[in-house]
Amino acid sequence: MAKYLAIILLILFCYNVRAQSWEVGGFAGGSGYMGDLNPNNPLKVSGIAAGGFIKRNINGYVSIRAGYTYGKISAADSTSGGNQQFRDRNLSFTTRLSEISLTGEFNFLKYIPSVSHDIYTPFIYAGIGYTAYNPQANYQGKTYDLRPLTTEGQSTPYPNSTIVAPFGVGIKYNVAGRLSLIADLGYRVAFTDYLDDVSGVYVDKSNLSGVVAKALSDRSGEKTGIYTGSAGTQRGDLRKRDTYLFVGFSISYTFITPKCYF
């Protein structure tokens, strides 16, 4: 899937690169996640995000965007101030995300920097993407990749990449000439429940190989010595998919000549 998306991005970039309705830009902001360690707060930012994009503006309302975004998400049960059950579970993770995406945008107002009457517009977008991820956790001063440890007793490690469905909202403002300042908030529904290495139930530790795998499968007793993760009991929230978000600002430049729109 990643190969095919990369080909699409290359075609979009190479096709008629001299066309005056192309746009390029860069993004910076924050990233967050909703899943088994954060099931209720859709706006919680836990890391940084940055990326770039190219865009084909079909007209003042519709455009197609190809982009790359890097982000970092994390969560820890120990910081769950209002949920004793989470604090007792004591799981944690950090994941670096590397995403390529292809999305369609729709402007609510006709927006062509330095040409149209409207100097701003709200917009929405949706599309498809592909994300590489690798959940990790710190244990006794060291960082471990969680995927190969199969902490829930998987017969084989889960994939380290997934298809995602991006969607979001934002606003564009023509700050000067052909420059636009863009603010947006976008979510990605991941077709995996393992961005955080947590999904289903606790496994019998005798089925795990290695001291580290056994320790990271159930961390409930690290401070108290009392381990509550009995085999077959709930470890995750049992929802099938994790979600992550990117929020921030972009600066873009649009290549325009009058013949594009007249």
Tell me the DSSP string of 249-261.
Answer: EEEEEE---GGGT
> Is pLDDT of 13 > 50?
no
- Residue 94 — pLDDT band, cuts 50, 70, 90? very high
pTM of the model: 0.88
Average pLDDT of the segment spanning 195-217: 94
- Residue 21 — pLDDT band, cuts 50, 70, 90? confident
Choose from 83-92, 158-167, 223-232 the range with maximum mean pLDDT. Answer: 158-167
Q: Whole-angstrom Cα distance, residue 209 to residue 206?
A: 8
> Is pLDDT of 180 > 80?
yes
Q: What is the mean pLDDT of the chain?
A: 90
Q: What are the pLDDT digits (tens) for 142-153?
A: 999 999 999 999
Tokens of 227: 């381990």
Give 25's strand partners. 53, 252
Tokens of 199: 């999904």
- Residue 249 — pLDDT band, cuts 50, 70, 90? very high
Q: What domains can you pick out in the chain, each with its CATH number?
A: 2-14+27-254 (2.40.160.20)
What's the pLDDT score for residue 116? Answer: 86
> Is pLDDT of 258 > 70?
no
Which residues lie closer than 8 Å to 70 by C-beta, 6 or more apart?
49, 50, 51, 96, 97, 98, 99
Tokens of 214: 């056994």
Neighbours of 14 (CB within 10 A): 8
Which has the closest alpha carbon to 253: 52, 24, 68? 24
Q: Whole-angstrom Cα distance, residue 163 to residue 116?
A: 36
